Every structure is written in structure tokens, then in C-alpha cells.
Structure 1
Amino acid sequence: MRYDLLGPLRIRHAEQSFSLSAPKVETTLATLLIGDGRVITKEQLITELWGDRPPRRASAALHVYISQLRKFLAGAGDPHGQAIVTRPAGYELRRGDALWDVGEFKEAVRLGRELRAAGRHEEALASFEHALPMIRGPVLDGTAEGPVLGSFATWAEEERLECLELSVEARTALGRHREVIGLLSTLTAQYPLRESFYRQLMLVLYRSERQAEALQVYRCAQRVLRAELGLEPHRSLQRLHQAILTSDRLLDLPMAG
């Protein structure tokens, strides 16, 4: 049995995929999953389901959703109905030996960082590339609005972007500059306030003998940051700009930037 939460929620068991059609029940399951073995209080679940304006019979409705969820999980690989445990304060979801994508994603990124620190860039890249497809889209198709699910969705997006950065760094360390230019151009357009993507794009353009374009990327970053935030680029971006202007030989080293 496997839980997938990094995107539309689904459960897989014996080569079958199961999903919930009832949004409230889906939200309940997602919130319990994020608890990862911790008790989620009834108050937390009610807030996730209805915000600060719950219906008068919210507790009774929650009880119904938990009952429906137990039936769903029984049909999706939890035949003994032991995954959801009732506690005095709320509910706990016990995954047991079930797999879940969040744990696998974290482990793949952790391993990639470890390999990167050891200078094993090819293996690090493979680990990051293994992790990235696990994030299949916005959590719950972008409908996660409560504090627990909202925070988790923000975390997942930030982790995805950081994993992309690490993947690019690994390719750059391997001298594979040209193959990430298109990706970084798209990322700087999608995330215009994220300076790390500008930095990476400037470096790979320079190493691809496109110095003028690298300098143009800096001017674009400077213009955007001034207009949106009233700030100058971070010192690290300014230093890279200066190094490109002077064709600093340090930029030719595999790990520069």
C-alpha cells in the first residue's frame, strides 16, 4: 500500500490506484497523512475542513467523514481498518509499513545532498532527478487552503524549487551547461524574484560562451528586483556579475558560482 500526497491525493495498492471523490473526506485524509503518526485534534480537522466558520454540527459531520474514510481505506488496502486510530483529542493515521511519496522524496533529496557534498555529482544528479517527478503538481490540485494543508503545500513547492536548483548545480558541475539554459530561462520567467535562478542562468550562459547574454540576465534581474521590491540584487549576484564583466578565470572552474 502506498500513499501519494505530492500532487493529487491517491492511494496505490496491488497495481491499482484509488482516489477520493468527496473533497471533505479527501481533506481529512490529507491532514491526517501530514500528521505522520501524530494525533491531529478534532479542532485542527474542523479548521481544515471549514476554516473559522464551521457548521453547528461540525463534530458530527467530522465523525461521518472519518467513518467514510475508514471504509475507503478498507477497500484500498487496509482490510482490518486499523490505519485510523481514534484518540481522546482526535485521530491518528498509522501508515505501518505502507509507503508514501513524501518520505521517499525527502530521502532522495537527502541522499543527493550527501553525494553532492562528496563530489559524486553524477550520482547526486540521479538522486535529484529521481525525486523531482514525485511532485506531480500542486497538493490536492491546489485546493489546500487550511493552515495545515496550506503550510504543507508551501513546503512542497519550496522543496521542488530547491531540488531543481540542486539538479541544475549537479549538471553544471558535470560541465553540462547548455542543456539547462532553456530550463533556467523558463524558471526565471516563472519565478522572477528568486535570485538563485538568475545566478545559475548567468553562470551557464557564461560557460557556454554567451557572456553578453549573461550580463543581460543580470540587468533583467536588477530591473525586476528594483521594480517589485525596491532592492538591489543580492551581493552574491553582484559578485558574479563583476566576475563575468572581468572574465574571471575562477568562473571556469567546475564548481564556481
Structure 2
Amino acid sequence: MRYELLGPLQVTNGQDRFTLSAPKMETLLALLLTSAGQSVTKDQLITELWGTRPPRRAAAAVHVYISQLRKFLVRAGDTERRAIATTPAGYLLRRGGAGLDVDDFQEAMRTGREHQHAGRHEQASRDFDRALALVRGPVLAGMAEGTALASFSTWVEEERLACLELLVDARTALGRHREMISLLSRLTAQYPLREAFYRQLMLVLYRSERQAEALQVYRSAQRVLRAELGLEPCRSLRRIHQAILTSDRHLDLPLAS
């Protein structure tokens, strides 16, 4: 079995793909999966399922959802009916040998960073590509009533954006500047307050002999940050702006030895 949380929640068994049609059951399974093998209390489950306004028979409803979820997991491959255990505090999901896409994502990020730090940019690029491919869409979209799953969803999005930054850095180090321009233009438009994407776009434009456009990106970032946050660009953004103005040789791609 394999659990997949990085997008619409699903369970696979190598051949078939299983999804839950009931949003409450999706939320329940997601919470058990993100609890890292720890028991989740009934009160926690109720809060995540209904927020601060649970129904009168919420505890009974949780019991019904757990029963239905156990049957769902049996169909998906939990033939020994061991995946969900009842504990004195609540419920615990035992993955056993089942895979989890979140683990694969974190492993790809870890090895990618190791390759990046060692200067193995081609290998790093492949690892970051592999990590990004695991994110199939919005995580737990519209499912979270409580804070636990909302926090998890926020963490995944932050890690995805960090992975995009690292991927751009790896490909830029390989001299693939021009192919990064389109991607970074979209990212700066989609995430206008994320200064790292402006910095990366300025660098690839400069290395593509488009200095004037690189400087225009800085002015655009400056306008957005002033209007939205009342702030000036961060130090790294100001530094690359000054370096471009002076054609600082440190911006050039190092020659292969």
C-alpha cells in the first residue's frame, strides 16, 4: 500500500487507486497520516472535522467514520485490518510497510540539497524535479477545519516553493539561464511577495544579456513591496541590483575548471 497526501488524498496498492468520496473521511485519514504514528484523541479529531462548532453527536459520528475508514483501507490492501488501532486516548494509524509520498518528497529534497552543496548540480536538479513531481495539486484543499491540517498544508506549500528555488539555483549553476526566464516570470507574478524569485529572475536575465530587463524587475519588486508591505526590498535583492548596475564580474557564471 501507498498513501498519497501531496494532492487529492488517495491510496494505491500498485495496481489500483482508491479515493474517498466523503470529505470528513478524507480529513480523518489525513489527520491520522500526518500525526507521525502518534495517537490522535477523539477531541482532536472532532476539532479537525468540525472546528469550534461540532454537532451534538460528534463522538458517535467519529466512531462511524473510523469504522467506514477501516473498511476502505481493507479494500485498498489492509487485508489484516491492522492499519487503524484503537488506543486509550483515541486512534492510531499504523503504516507498517506502506509508503507515503511525503517521505519520498523529503528524501528527494534531502539528497538534492546534499548534491547541491557538493556542486553536483545535475544530480541536484534531478532530485528537485523528482520532489516536485510528487506534488499533484493543492494539498487537502478545503478540508481543514482545525489547525493541524491547515498547518500541514502550509508546510507543504512552503516546501514546494523552497524546492522550486533550489531547482532554479541548480539549473542556473548549470548555465541554463534562458530556460529559467519564463518559469521565474510566472513565479514572480504568482508569488509577488517572495523576493527570492525576483532575485533569481534578475540574475538569469543579466546572464542572458538582458540587463535593462533585470533592472526593471527590481523596480517592479520595489513597487510591489512598498505598496503591499510598506517595505524596501531585502538586502540580497538590493545587493544584486547594485551588482547589475556595476556589471559586477561575480554575477558571471564561473568557468568550468
Tell me the TM-score normalised to structure 2 length: 0.97
Structure 1 residue 61 displacement after superposition = 0.5
User: What corresponds to 1:208 in structure 2?
Assistant: 208
Aligned residue number for residue 220 of structure 1: 220
- CA contact 2:49–2:144 (8 Å) conserved in 1: no
2:237 paired with 1:243: no
Contact 2:211 2:244 in 1 (8 A): yes
Residue 9 of structure 2 contacts residue 30 of structure 2 at CA under 8 Å; is this kept in 1? yes
Number of positions where the alignment pairs a residue of Structure 1 with one of Structure 2: 255
Q: Aligned equivalents of 1:160 and 1:5: distance in 2? A: 13
Within 5 Å, which residues of 2 pair with 1:65-84?
A: 65-84=65-84
- Pairwise CA distance, 1:145: 3.6
Distance across 2 between alignment mates of 1:250 and 1:170: 17
Alpha-carbon distance in 2 for matches of 1:50, 1:93: 21
In the alignment, the residues of structure 1 paired with residue 143 and residue 71 of structure 2 have an alpha-carbon distance, to the nearest angstrom, of 23
CA distance in 1, matches of 2:23, 2:61: 13
Native 8 Å contact 1:175 1:254 kept in 2: no
C-alpha distance in 2 between matches for 1:48 and 1:139? 15
Instruction: Write the distance in 2 (CA, Å) between the matches of 1:143 and 1:88.
Output: 27
Distance 1:23 1:38 in 2: 22
Hey, what's the Cα distance between the residues in 1 that align with 2:202 and 2:209? Answer: 11
Q: Which secondary structure state, in structure 2, belongs to the residue aligned with residue 233 of structure 1?
A: coil
1:61 matched to 2:64: no
Residue matched to 2:17: 17
State the one-letter code of the partner of 2:107. E
Aligned to 2:196: 196
- 1:36–1:94 contact (8 Å) kept in structure 2: no
In structure 1, the partner of 2:110 is 110
Q: In the alignment, is the contact (CA less than 8 A) between 1:12 and 1:76 conserved in 2?
A: yes
- Specify the alignment match of 1:140 in structure 2: 140
For the 8 Å contact 1:174–1:254, the answer to whether it is kept is no
1:142 deviates by 4.0
Superposed structure 1 runs of 4+ greater than 4 Å apart? none
Alignment partner, residue 165 of structure 1: 165
Equivalent residues in 2 for 1:35-54 (5 A)? 35-54=35-54
Cα drift, residue 80 of structure 1: 1.1
The range that moved more, 218-227 or 13-22, is 13-22
In structure 2, C-alpha distance between the alignment counterparts of 1:19 and 1:111, rounded to whole Å: 31
Q: Is the 8 A contact 1:40 1:91 kept in 2?
A: yes
Deviations 1:2-44 (A, max 9, x none): 0000010000013100000111111100100001211111111
The 1:29–1:209 alpha-carbon spacing in structure 2 relative to 1, beyond 3 Å, is same
For the Cα contact (< 8 Å) 2:202–2:214, is it kept in 1?
Answer: yes
CA distance in 2, matches of 1:251, 1:54: 57
- Deviation per residue, 1:132-183 (Å, 9 max, x gap): 0111111123433421110000001001100000000000000000001000
Aligned-partner Cα distance in 1 for 2:145–2:159: 19
Distance in 1 separating the partners of 2:92 and 2:186: 41
Matches within 5 A, 1:78-97: 78-97=78-97
Equivalent-residue separation in structure 2 for 1:101 and 1:254 (angstroms) = 36
Tell me the amino acid that sits aligned with residue 98 of structure 1: A
1:125 and 1:145 mapped to 2: Cα distance?
Answer: 36
User: Equivalents in 2 of 1:157, 1:144: separation in Å?
Assistant: 15
Identity among equivalent positions (%) equals 72
> What SS class does the counterpart of residue 3 from structure 1 fall into?
strand
- Return the letter of the residue paired with 1:134: L
Query: Over the residues paired in the alignment, what is the CA RMSD in angstroms?
Result: 1.0
Structure 2 runs not aligned, ≥5 long: none
Structure 2 residue matching 1:11: 3-state secondary structure: strand
